[in-house]
C-alpha cells in the first residue's frame, strides 16, 4: 500500500491515524495518507513563518531559479505522477482530446516554468528634483492553500507557484479525496526549497477550517465549492485575510444559427464532457438556436455514444469514472429530476453496473431554465441542451445565474460573437471554444463564482500588497 506523509519544515510527519484514498475506477484503497489536525496546522504555520524572512529576502533571481529547478525533477518522474493522478482522480492517462493525466502533469510543468519566469517590476510614479516615488510589490507572509479533487496536482501548483514566486511561504491542504500526487510533489519540491517554505498538512474540512481561521496566515487561496468558499470567507474575517476564491461555475454556451454543426460538434462535446464534466469551467448549459437545435443535439449525442468510457489506466479510455460517490449521487439526482419533469434523454442517464463510480455520458433535451439540471452545477458527465429563439433573451437567460465563471458564444462570424462578449456576466468569454486556460491569461469568476484571478502577472499580483516608497530629494 502506498503511504504518504505530511511535510512540515522540510521533514516527513506522521499523525496518529491515517485515512484511505480510493481508486474511483475500482473502489479499491490504493494509498493511505495522514489524518492531520489543528496542531499540525499550527506547526506548519510556525515553520512557514520562520522561513518567511529568508525566502522573501532571497535575491529574486535565486528564488526564481529554485522554482525553475522543480520542472526537471517532475519531468524525470512524469509517468509515475501521471499514474498517481489517474489512480486517485479517475482521469484517464490520455483522455478525451488529450485532456487527461498527461495534460495535468504536463500543464503542471508548464505553469511552474512560466510562473517562475514572471517578474514584479518596481513602478516609478515620480522622479524629479523634489522626490522619487516608487511602488513595490511586497509578499504577504504565510499563504494557506486549500484545493479540490478534480485537477488535484495542477490546481495545487496554480496556488503554490505564484505564492512562492512573490516571496510568500505556503501551507497547503489538498482535497482528502486526492492528496497523493501532490504529497509526492511536495516531497520532491522540498529537495530544492529551503525548509519551511512549502508545507503540507493532509486531512478533511477540519484541517481546512484550521487554516482559514489561523491568525498567522495572511492570505487564503481556495478552489472549491461555493458553500465552502462562504465558510472560508467568514472564518478568514478574524485577521482580515486576503482571499482568492475560485468557486463553482455553471457555464453557459450559446450556439448561433450560422454555425457549421459538423465542425463544432466535437468541440462542443469535449467542452461539456472532458474530465467527465468535472472541471469548474466546463460547459454546463448549452443554449442552441431553434433552427439547428435537433441537429446539434443529435450530433453531440452521437459523440456521447461513441466515447470510450473505462478505467483511466487503459490507454484507450477517453472518459474515466466520476471521482467520488457523493458527486455521482448529485448527478444521479439531477438526472432523476430531469426525467421526472419529462425531459428527453438522447443517450445515457444511468449509473454503470459493477465497481467504480461510472455514470454514462448523458445528453438531455426538451428541458429549460428553472429545472435543477439547468440551474445547478452538475459537475459530471451530463449536459442539458436548451432551445432558444431570440439572442437578446438567451443572453439574459445565460446571465440569470448566481454563477459567473466562464461562458462561450459559437458562431461562424467570430466578430459578431465577440461583440456579444461584453454582455456575458462571467470572468472569461470564449468564442468558438470553452474552458481552455493558459498560464499567461487571467482566470477567475464574478458573482458567486468567486473573486480574484489566477495566472500571469494579474494572478501573481494577488499574492502581494503594494508598498509606496517616497524618497525626498530636497
- For the bound state, the minimum distance from the C-beta of residue 58 to ligand NAD, rounded and expressed in Å, comes to 29
Handedness of CA 144, 436, 153, 458 (dihedral sign): negative
322 binds ligand NAD (CB under 6 A): no
For residue 33, what are the β-bridge partners? Answer: 19
Among residues 4, 280, 360, 461, which one is catalytic?
280
Strand partners, 142: 169
The reply on whether position 170 binds ligand NAD by CB under 6 A is no
By CB under 6 A, residue 323 contacts ligand NAD = no
Q: Evaluate whether 448 touches 427 at the Cβ level (below 8 Å).
A: no
432 neighbors 418 (Cβ within 8 angstroms): no
- Angle among Cα 365, 366, 371 to the nearest 5 degrees reads 95
- The full length of the chain comes to 474
Q: Does 405 bind ligand NAD (CB under 6 A)?
A: yes
Binding flag, residue 136, ligand NAD (CB under 6 A): no
Give yes or no for a contact between 212 and 218, defined as CB atoms under 8 angstroms apart.
no
Burial annotation 61-85 (CB, 10 A radius, 16+ → b, else e) = eebbebbeebbeebeeeeeebbbbb
Assess 228 for contact with ligand NAD (CB under 6 A).
yes
Size of the site for ligand NAD (CB under 6 A): 28
Contact with ligand NAD (CB under 6 A) among 162, 249, 321, 452: 249
Report the helix count and the strand count for the chain, using DSSP H and E: 16, 21
330 in contact with ligand NAD (CB under 6 A): no
Question: Cβ of 110: how many Cβ atoms within 10 Å?
Answer: 16
* Active-site residue (options: 88, 246, 454, 462): 246
Q: Which is nearer to ligand NAD, 150 or 408 (CB)?
A: 150
Q: Which residue is nearest to ligand NAD (CB)?
A: 208
User: Given candidates 81, 111, 149, 185, which one binds ligand NAD under the rule CB under 6 A?
Assistant: 149
Choose, by CB under 6 A, the member of 34, 147, 276, 464 that binds ligand NAD: 147
Question: Could you tell me where the DSSP H helices lie in 177-318?
Answer: 180-189, 205-212, 226-235, 261-273, 293-306
Q: Name the β-bridge partners of 123.
A: 135
User: Using CB under 6 A, which of 231, 267, 332, 416 touches ligand NAD?
Assistant: 231
Residue 247 as a binder of ligand NAD (CB under 6 A): the answer is yes
State the nearest-atom distance from the C-beta of 72 to ligand NAD, in Å: 27
For the record, the C-alpha cell of 46 comes out as 510556525
Nearer to ligand NAD, 67 or 245 (CB): 245
The CB-of-200 to ligand NAD minimum distance in angstroms stands at: 12
Contact residue for ligand NAD among 10, 113, 194, 205 (CB under 6 A): 205
Distances (CA, A) of 96 to 120, 252, 279, 287: 37, 21, 13, 23
Strands (E), 247-394: 251-255, 283-289, 344-347, 362-365, 382-388
Measured from the CB atom, the residue of 377 and 462 that comes closer to ligand NAD is 377
Q: 280 an active-site residue?
A: yes
Tell me: does residue 48 bind ligand NAD (CB under 6 A): no
Contact at 8 Å (CB) between 4 and 13? no
Report the residue number, 167 or 445, with the smaller CB distance to ligand NAD.
Answer: 445
Strands (DSSP E) contained in 406-461 are: 406-410, 428-431, 450-451
Helices (H), 341-462: 372-375, 391-399, 414-420, 456-461
Distance of alpha carbon 166 from alpha carbon 454, whole angstroms: 13
148 binds ligand NAD (CB under 6 A): yes
CB of 111 to ligand NAD, least distance (A): 13
Restricting to residues 418-447, name those near ligand NAD by CB under 6 A: 445
Interface residue with ligand NAD among 13, 265, 280, 313 (CB under 6 A) is: 280
Nearer to ligand NAD, 49 or 231 (CB): 231
User: C-alpha grid cell for residue 312?
Assistant: 483511466
DSSP class per residue in 129-162: SSEEEEEEEEE-SEEEEE--SSSHHHHHHHHHHH
The contact pattern for ligand NAD, residues 63-102, with x = CB under 6 A and - = no contact, is ----------------------------------------
CA–CA dist 431, 254 (Å, integer): 10
Residue 246: active-site member: yes
Select the residue interacting with ligand NAD from 13, 84, 143, 146 (CB under 6 A). Answer: 146
Residue 411 makes contact with ligand NAD by CB under 6 A: no
- Grid look-up 518522474 returns 77
Q: Report if residue 150 touches ligand NAD, rule: CB under 6 A.
A: yes
Q: Answer yes or no whether residue 45 interacts with ligand NAD by CB under 6 A.
A: no
Binding status of residue 379 toward ligand NAD by CB under 6 A: yes
Contact map string, positions 281 to 310, toward ligand NAD, x by CB under 6 A: ------------------------------
> Measured from the CB atom, is 176 or 462 closer to ligand NAD?
176
| 64, 435, 447, 431: CA torsion to nearest 10 | 110
Q: Catalytic residues, which ones?
A: 246, 280
The residue ranges that bind ligand NAD (CB under 6 A) are 146-150, 173, 175-176, 204-205, 208-209, 212, 223-225, 228, 231-232, 246-249, 280, 377, 379, 405, 445
Amino acid at each position: 500500500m502506498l503511504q504518504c506523509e505530511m511535510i512540515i519544515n522540510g521533514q516527513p510527519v506522521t499523525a496518529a491515524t491515517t485515512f484511505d484514498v480510493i481508486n474511483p475506477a475500482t473502489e479499491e484503497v490504493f494509498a493511505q495518507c495522514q489524518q492531520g489536525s489543528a496542531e499540525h496546522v499550527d506547526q506548519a504555520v510556525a515553520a512557514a513563518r520562520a522561513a518567511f524572512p529568508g525566502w522573501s529576502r532571497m535575491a529574486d533571481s535565486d528564488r526564481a531559479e529554485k522554482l525553475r529547478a522543480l520542472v526537471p525533477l517532475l519531468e524525470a518522474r512524469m509517468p509515475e505522477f501521471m499514474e498517481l493522478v489517474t489512480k486517485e482522480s479517475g482521469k484517464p492517462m490520455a483522455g478525451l482530446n488529450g485532456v487527461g493525466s498527461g495534460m495535468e502533469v504536463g500543464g503542471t510543468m508548464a505553469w511552474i516554468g512560466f510562473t517562475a519566469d514572471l517578474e514584479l517590476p518596481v513602478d516609478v510614479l515620480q522622479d524629479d528634483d523634489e522626490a522619487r516615488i516608487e511602488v513595490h510589490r511586497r509578499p504577504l507572509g504565510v499563504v494557506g492553500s486549500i484545493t479540490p479533487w478534480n485537477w488535484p496536482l495542477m490546481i495545487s501548483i496554480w496556488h503554490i507557484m505564484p505564492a512562492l514566486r512573490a516571496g510568500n511561504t505556503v501551507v497547503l491542504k489538498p482535497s482528502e479525496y486526492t492528496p497523493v500526487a501532490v504529497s509526492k510533489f511536495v516531497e520532491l519540491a522540498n529537495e530544492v526549497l529551503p525548509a519551511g517554505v512549502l508545507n503540507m498538512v493532509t486531512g478533511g474540512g477540519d484541517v481546512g477550517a484550521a487554516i482559514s481561521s489561523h491568525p498567522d496566515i495572511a492570505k487564503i487561496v481556495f478552489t472549491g465549492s461555493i458553500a465552502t468558499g462562504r465558510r472560508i470567507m467568514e472564518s478568514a474575517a478574524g485577521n482580515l485575510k486576503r482571499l482568492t476564491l475560485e468557486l463553482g461555475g455553471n457555464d453557459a454556451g450559446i450556439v448561433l444559427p450560422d454555425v457549421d454543426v459538423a465542425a463544432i460538434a466535437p468541440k462542443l462535446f469535449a467542452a461539456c464532457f472532458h474530465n467527465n464534466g468535472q472541471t469548474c469551467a466546463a460547459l454546463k448549459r448549452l443554449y442552441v438556436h431553434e433552427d439547428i437545435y435537433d441537429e446539434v443535439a443529435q450530433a453531440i449525442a452521437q459523440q456521447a455514444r461513441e466515447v470510450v468510457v473505462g478505467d483511466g489506466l487503459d490507454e484507450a479510455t477517453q472518459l474515466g469514472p466520476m471521482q467520488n460517490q457523493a458527486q455521482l449521487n448529485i448527478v444521479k439526482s439531477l438526472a432523476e429530476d430531469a426525467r421526472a419533469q419529462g425531459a428527453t434523454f438522447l443517450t445515457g442517464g444511468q449509473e454503470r453496473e459493477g465497481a467504480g463510480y461510472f455514470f454514462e455520458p448523458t445528453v438531455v433535451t426538451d428541458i429549460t431554465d428553472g429545472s435543477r439540471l439547468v440551474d445547478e452545477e452538475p459537475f459530471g458527465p451530463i449536459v442539458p441542451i436548451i432551445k432558444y429563439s431570440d439572442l437578446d433573451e438567451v443572453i439574459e437567460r445565460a446571465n440569470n445565474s448566481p454563477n459567473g465563471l466562464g461562458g462561450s458564444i459559437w458562431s461562424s462570424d467570430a466578430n459578431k460573437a465577440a461583440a456579444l462578449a461584453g454582455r456575458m456576466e462571467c470572468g472569461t468569454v470564449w468564442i468558438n471554444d470553452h474552458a481552455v486556460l493558459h498560464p499567461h491569461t487571467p482566470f477567475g469568476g464574478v458573482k458567486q463564482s468567486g473573486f480574484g484571478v489566477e495566472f500571469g502577472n494579474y494572478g501573481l499580483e494577488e499574492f502581494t500588497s503594494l508598498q509606496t516608497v517616497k524618497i525626498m530629494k530636497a
